[in-house]
Amino acid sequence: MREDIGIIERKTLNAWPALQQMTYGGWLLRQSRGYTKRSNSVQPLWTDPGADLRAMVGYCEDAYHRAGLPTIFKITPLCESAGLDGRLDDYGYRLADRSLVLVRSLDAQVDVCSTDDLCVDGDLTEEWLATASRLLQLRPEQTAIAAAMLASSSLRRGFFTLRSEGIPVAVGIGVIDDGDLGLYDIVTSLQHRNRGFGERLMRHILRWGQSHGAHGSYLQVIESNAAARRLYDKLGYRKLYEYWYRVRWP
């Protein structure tokens, strides 16, 4: 299981890039001007036995302080052997955004509604970004950062828009990396929720992944998001592991 977790963690890093990143030992320091914890946190992929955690944490704090950002650590099962979570708690880091990584097989054909009004772009477009920004309620500066982060990738990507009566009602991103399909930024407009559009969109993304050779899928969801978890359970996702963040403000 630990090997599976490491594979998924590396693929999430590939799929959701940071504007800047640097390595320190087995830790990856990612910074993107504060847009999302995922791209503005320390990702400890491995830690040398006997490492001086206080010194390593201090190095990270200095780096994020210089960038004007809070110091955030992403805590996964890969951190357990080093005892990092408990040490960060001792150092005054608060726990935030407890989340789940869910996975499912794509061996069986996924059913979709053939009459759906669906648009799939292979690259980021201004139209998709504008729609996603509106549905995600991003501020202009967040939209600009997202555009820079998502501008290009060597991975196969799909930017999906589902419309109803000509109106965009749901968007999402699919990213394929070595046979695994990651789903990101799945969102339905507030006015069109609880009408099945999110499920229909996800089915299209899963079918698209199958058509491009994906044999499995993963996604990340905040543990407290009951509505999303019900949908993902309905679509056959199961929990692989948990993660959370430890945050300390300057």
What does the pLDDT read at residue 250?
Answer: 59
Residues 53 and 90 in one domain: yes
What does the pLDDT read at residue 27?
Answer: 95
Domain-embedded: residue 247: no
What does the pLDDT read at residue 135?
Answer: 96
More confident residue, 49 or 244: 244
pLDDT tens-digit readout, 133-153:
999 999 999 999 999 999 989
Domain-embedded: residue 22: yes
Across the beta sheet with 156-164, the strand order is: 20-24, 27-31, 42-44, 71-75, 238-248, 94-105, 216-222, 180-188, 167-177, 156-164, 117-121
Residues 132 and 176 in one domain: yes
Domain hosting 204: range is: 108-214
Band (pLDDT 50/70/90 cuts) for residue 249 is low
Residue burial 203-229, b: 16+ Cβ < 10 Å; e: rest: bbbbebbbeeebeebbbbbeeeeeebb
Residues 120 and 37 in one domain: no
**DSSP three-state, residue 121:** strand
Residues 161 and 65 in one domain: no
Domain-embedded: residue 221: no
Band (pLDDT 50/70/90 cuts) for residue 2 is low
Q: What's the mean pLDDT in 233-242?
A: 96
Percent of the chain with pLDDT over 70: 98
Residues 49 and 126 in one domain: no
Flag whether pLDDT at 123 surpasses 90. Answer: yes
pLDDT tens-digit readout, 59-105:
999 999 999 999 999 999 998 878 999 999 999 999 999 999 999 99
Question: What average pLDDT does the chain have?
Answer: 94
For the domain that residue 148 is a member of, what is the CATH number? 3.40.630.30
**Distance from C-alpha of 145 to C-alpha of 46, rounded to nearest angstrom:** 28
Band (pLDDT 50/70/90 cuts) for residue 52 is very high
pLDDT tens-digit readout, 160-218:
999 999 999 999 999 999 999 999 999 999 899 889 999 999 999 999 999 999 999 99
What does the pLDDT read at residue 80?
Answer: 85
Residue burial 88-102, b: 16+ Cβ < 10 Å; e: rest: beeeebeeeeebbbb
Domain-embedded: residue 228: no
Q: What's the mean pLDDT in 14-25?
A: 93
Flag whether pLDDT at 3 surpasses 90. Answer: no
Quote the number of domains for the chain: 2
Percent of the chain with pLDDT over 90: 88
Q: What's the mean pLDDT in 35-46?
A: 93
